[in-house]
Amino acid sequence: MNANKILIIAGLLALVATGCQSTPKPSGGFADLTSTMKGVAVTNELDAALLQPPQSLFTLGPGDRIEIEIIGIAKSRTTTSVGPDGKIYYQLLPGLDVWGLTLDQTRELIQTSMAKYLNEPQVAVYLREVGSRHVWVLGRLNKPGVYPLSAPMTLLEAVAQAGGTAQSASQVTTEELADLRHSFVMRKGQMVPVDFYRLLREGDASQNVFLLPDDFVYVRSAIAQEVYVLGAVKAPRSIPYSEHMTLMSALAGASGHIRMEWFSTEIRQEIAPDARLSEVAIVRGSLSTPEMMVVDAGAIMKGKAVDVRLEPGDIVYVPNSPVSTLKRYVNMIVNSFVTTLAANEGVAAGGGQVGVGVSVPVSR
């Protein structure tokens, strides 16, 4: 990214006279980068392996339903479920542990076990219902929910199965209700850097990854006008965005401006004792290509720098340890944001009343 773009993204920060006793007014543009600010843009490329279907065969787990039949024996066909202990029960056989077995391996196990009672039995096994593998497809979709994963499924297929992204029901507009630039796929606690806009609006197949069991797909609402405050703060949360919201007012958990003499008291009540105000980050833009600036919030509090104007969707992160590299810092912030939203949305989808871990309510 060139220096001009960094300046545009980073803007609204300049030195002011020491000892200023009124709230600094955010400027309309950006001054030169100073010691109080560092900017960085990150482009996370997809691993080509994510675009290939999984090669492993389906294995059984608790909740799966299979149909078993001994060929040539009337009334031997029955449907049974894999229990919580991973076992199935069929005719006179004791519980057979099939957890982690393929259908062929399960057929061979049943066939070998039945050979104690029958002469060379031929067994057929069919998968009838998947209960052990799911993907979560939630957010601004027409049919959000938890869907079984019985065969290789791409992200595009999952979104289609969930009815596609939601649009306004108004007769005079088809406004898109999904914020594709802030939508994400989370896998094993890490964000898969898919660009939903390129996939769903531009038809870019290079973003159409294959999903794995327990993947979490979240399509964020475009209606949500919020700023997210995370990290070393006492109450990590989302704050409704208001016009002219600044970094200081967001850290204080308030909307609009607050007076300079209130900065220290208001913000110190909100942040953790070990917070590093000299390296507060603001992450903006698409989650797949996030842009971040690091601001010396302590300098702003002392009147040595101009407050920073925020935008809807900004993520403000207060660290409690020194920043190593900016790229690692921005990726850590994005993953923290994604994990938080996924936890809260997952609990909501499951009927829970309390969020998991850090709570960041999300407008629907």
* pLDDT tens digits for range 306-357: 888 898 889 999 888 877 788 888 888 888 888 888 887 766 665 543 333 3
Cα separation values, 130 from 150, 227, 356, Å: 6, 39, 27
Are 267 and 253 in contact by the 8 Å Cβ rule? The answer is no
**pLDDT for 259:** 47
Q: How many domains does the chain have?
A: 3
What CA–CA distance (Å, rounded) separates 112 from 129? Answer: 24
What CA–CA distance (Å, rounded) separates 8 from 246? Answer: 16
Q: Which residues of the chain have pLDDT under 70?
A: 1-40, 168-176, 254-274, 346-364
**pLDDT for 155:** 96
**pLDDT for 350:** 59
**pLDDT for 243:** 83
> Shortest CA distance to 306 belongs to which of 316, 318, 296?
296
Domain enclosing residue 246, as ranges? 3-46+224-349
Q: What is the DSSP string of 162-204?
A: TTSB-B---SS---B-EEEEEEEEEETTEEE---HHHHHTT--
Is residue 340 one of the residues assigned to a domain?
Answer: yes
**pLDDT for 62:** 95
Is residue 362 one of the residues assigned to a domain?
Answer: no
Choose the final residue of a domain: 173, 200, 221.
221
**pLDDT for 323:** 76
* DSSP class of 323: -
Note if the pTM is more than 0.75: no
Cα separation values, 215 from 40, 190, 196, Å: 29, 10, 15
CATH number of domain containing 168: 3.10.560.10
Are 100 and 89 in contact by the 8 Å Cβ rule? The answer is no
